Structure 1
Amino acid sequence: MTRFIHDQFAKQYLTELLISYGQIEMSKDITSEVRQIDVLFTPASPFPDGIESLGLLGRMAKNSSYTIFEPFRNAVSKSEIRSCMGKLFDIHADLERQTKRNNTRINEEELPYLWIFTPTASADILESFNFTLDEENWGKGIYFLGKALKTVLIVIHQLPTTPETLFLRVLGRGKVQRQAVEELEALSENSPFLTNIIQLVHDLIAVLSARQEKEHDIDQDDQELIMKLSEMYEQQLAEIKKQEREEGVLRERRAMIESILQVRFGELDSELATIIDQVIAMTREEFTPLLLQLSREELLARFTN
C-alpha cells in the first residue's frame, strides 16, 4: 500500500531533521507486547543550538526530555489515537518502574510527550477526545488533551502557511504537501542542511512512480504529488544542465585566452593571469582583437586599473 511508502518516508524525514540534535530510534519496540513507536527522539545534553530552525517541529522536540512522533498519512482514527496513547503509557509505566527500582521519584515534567500528525481530523474526533486548542501559545491546528495525558494532535491542514510550520506541512496531503515541497525546494537553494531532506523527497517520488507503473493503485493525491515533484525535478535537471553548459563555455573561453597570451608573450606569468577573469566576462568578439593587438603593458593597464 502507498500508505506504507509514506509511513517510511515520514519516519526517515523526521529522523533526518532531528538527528543533529539528539538520538533517534525508529520503530522502537514496546516490551509489554509486539508494538512499535514510529519515531522516538531523545535530545542531546546540553541541548544543541539550531533546533529553532525547525520551527514548530523544533519546539515539539524541546518540549520534554524525549518525544514520541506518530505520523499518519490518512486521517487518524479513534482506534489509532488510542493505540498511540497506549504506547505512550507503556513508556510512562516503564519509566515509573525504573524509578521505583532506583528508589527515586518520577518527574512529571520529564515524561515524554506524544505528538500525533494527521492531515485532517473530524469534529467528531476532536470532540470525542475533548481535544482543545492552545492558540495563544501554539497557534491553529494543534490540539491538546489534559496536561497529565501528554498527548497532542497536530492537524496539518489546519496549520497556518508560515515558515514555522513548513517542516510539518511536508507531511500533509494533496495541495498542502505539494506547496510545502515547493517551499522546501526554494529554501534548499541557500541551505545545504536541506540537501538530504530534498533527496528523501526525490526518493519518495521514485518509489511512488515505480508503484504506479507496477500496480496502478496510486490515489489522486499521490498522482498529483508525482506530477509536481516530477516537474520540479525536471526543472532542477534543466538548471543543472544549463549551469554545466555555461561552465563548459567558460572553461573553453579560459583555455582560448590562456593560449593566445602564451603564444603572444611566450608565457602566462602571474601578472597576465590576474586579468583572465575580467577578459572572460567579455564576449569572444570583444576580447579577441584586444588580445591580438594590445601590448602586454596595454593589456595590464586596461584590465588592472
Structure 2
Amino acid sequence: MTRQPHDQFAKEYLEELLTSLGKVETSKDVKSEVREIDVWFVPNTSSSNTSELGLLAKMAATSCLFEPFRNAPSEVEIRSCLLKLYTVHGDLLRQAKRSLSEGELPCLWILTPSCSSRMLNGFEAKIQESENWVEGVYFLPELLKGAIVAINQLPVVEDTLWLRVLGKGRTQKQAVEELVQLSEGSYKWDQLLEILASWRKNIEVKDNVNDEDRELIMNLSPAYLKQREEWRQEGLQEGRQEGEVTLLLRLLRRRFGEIAPDLEQRITSLSIPQLETLVDAQLDFSNLDDLVTWLSAQS
C-alpha cells in the first residue's frame, strides 16, 4: 500500500517522458503469480533526438522494464522485479516464431532513492565505467540483464534531472526546483509540472498525512505553486467560471480520456463552488462512472 501513490505518479511521469521515444505501457499484466509491471517500454525503430532526456534516454535505448520505488527496496522486492523480467522473457520466447538473441530481450531498471553497499555487494551490482555510465547506475552480472539506479548518487547535472525527480528528500527537492526553472523558458515541460502538482494535491488531501508525506508536499511545492499560478492566470483571462471548467476538463481528460459531450455540458453548467469542489473530488474517482454519480448527487 505504501507504494501506491508513488506508483501512480511514477507511471504517469515516465509515460509522459518516454512517449516521444517509443511505446509505453503502464501496469502491464504478466502471467503466473507475478504482479503487474510498473512501466514497460519499447523504443521506436526510427531514430530521434533524445539528448533532452539525457540518462533516461540512454536507458531507454532498448526495450526494458522500469520498476520505480519510493523507498529503498528489500532483497525480496528486488528478486520480485527480476522474476517479472524473466517471466516476460519466457513469454516473448514462447510467442516468437524464431529464436531471440540476448540483445532482443528486455532489460530491467530498478529505480530506488538510495541503495546500501550491502545490497549492492549482495547482488554484485557494479558501475560500468567502460560504457560511460555515471555514478549511481549499478549493473547486475551481465547475464541477469538488470541494473539498480541509486538516484541519490547520480551526479547533479541536467542529464540526470528526469531521474532525480523520482528521488527523495534534498535530491528530489533540488530536482523539482530545476524542473520549474527549466519550464520557465519552455512550455514543453508544462505537462510534467501538472503531473507533479496533481501528485502533491493527491497527497495533501489524503487522510493521515505522515512526516514522509509532509516532506514530499514540501518537495513538490515549487511545481504546485507555479502550476496553480498558471491556472489562476488562465482563470483571469477566461473568466473565473470558464477557467474552473477549463482546469477541471483538462484534469479529467488526462485521467480518463475524452469526456462525452453530455457530461461536458453538465460540468459547464455547474456553479463556481461546485466546480471548485469537483476539482478535489475527482482525485478519488476511479472511472467516469464516479463522475456521473457525483454529478447526479448535485441535482
Cα separation, 2, equivalents of 1:239 and 1:19: 24
Q: Is residue 2:75 matched to residue 1:78?
A: yes
Q: Take 2:76 and 2:223, find their aligned partners in 1: how far apart are those partners?
A: 37
> Who is 2:57 aligned against?
58
Give, in angstroms, the shift of residue 228 of structure 1: 4.3
Q: CA deviation at 1:34?
A: 4.8
Give the 3-state SS of the residue equivalent to 1:133 in structure 2. coil
CA offsets, 1:11-62, max 9 Å, x none?
Answer: 1100010112211111111123352110001112223x12221110000101
- Identify if the C-alpha distance between structure 1 residues 121 and 138 changes in structure 2 by more than 3 Å, giving closer, same or farther: same
Residue 4 of structure 2 is matched in structure 1 by: 4
Does 2:205 align with 1:210?
Answer: yes
Alignment CA distance shift 1:191-1:226 (3 Å)? same
Larger radius of gyration: 1
- CA shift, 1:170, in A, is 0.3
Query: Residue 176 of structure 2 contacts residue 219 of structure 2 at CA under 8 Å; is this kept in 1?
Result: no
Equivalent AA in structure 1 for residue 183 of structure 2 = S
* 4+ residue runs over 3 A deviation: 228-245
Q: Is the 8 A contact 1:2 1:208 kept in 2?
A: no
Question: Counterparts of 1:155 and 1:146 in 2: how far apart (Å)?
Answer: 17
**Displacement of 1:231:** 5.2
Residue-by-residue CA offset, 1:104-146 (whole Å, 9 max, x unaligned): 2221111101000001111111111111111341010000012
Alignment match, 1:230: 221
SS at match of 2:90: helix
Matched, 1:151 2:146: yes
Deviation at 1:4, TM superposition (A): 1.2
Q: CA–CA distance in 1 between the matches of 2:218 and 2:208?
A: 17
Return the offset for 1:159.
0.4
SS of 1:121 mapped into structure 2: coil
Indicate the percent of aligned positions where both proteins have the same amino acid. Answer: 47
Extract unaligned runs of 5+ from structure 2. 237-299
1:87 pairs with 2:78: no
TM-score, length basis structure 2:
0.73
- Say if 2:14 is the partner of 1:14: yes
2:182 maps to 1:187: yes
1:26 aligns with 2:26: yes
2:54–2:160 CA contact under 8 A, matched in 1: yes
> For 1:109 and 1:215, how far apart are their aligned partners in 2?
46
| Amino acid in structure 2 at the alignment position of 1:215 | N
* TM-score for the superposition, normalised by structure 1: 0.72
Which residue of the other structure, out of 89, 106, 109, is the alignment partner of 2:103? 109
Q: Name the residue aligned to 2:114.
A: 120
Which ranges in structure 1 are unaligned for 5 or more consecutive residues? 246-305
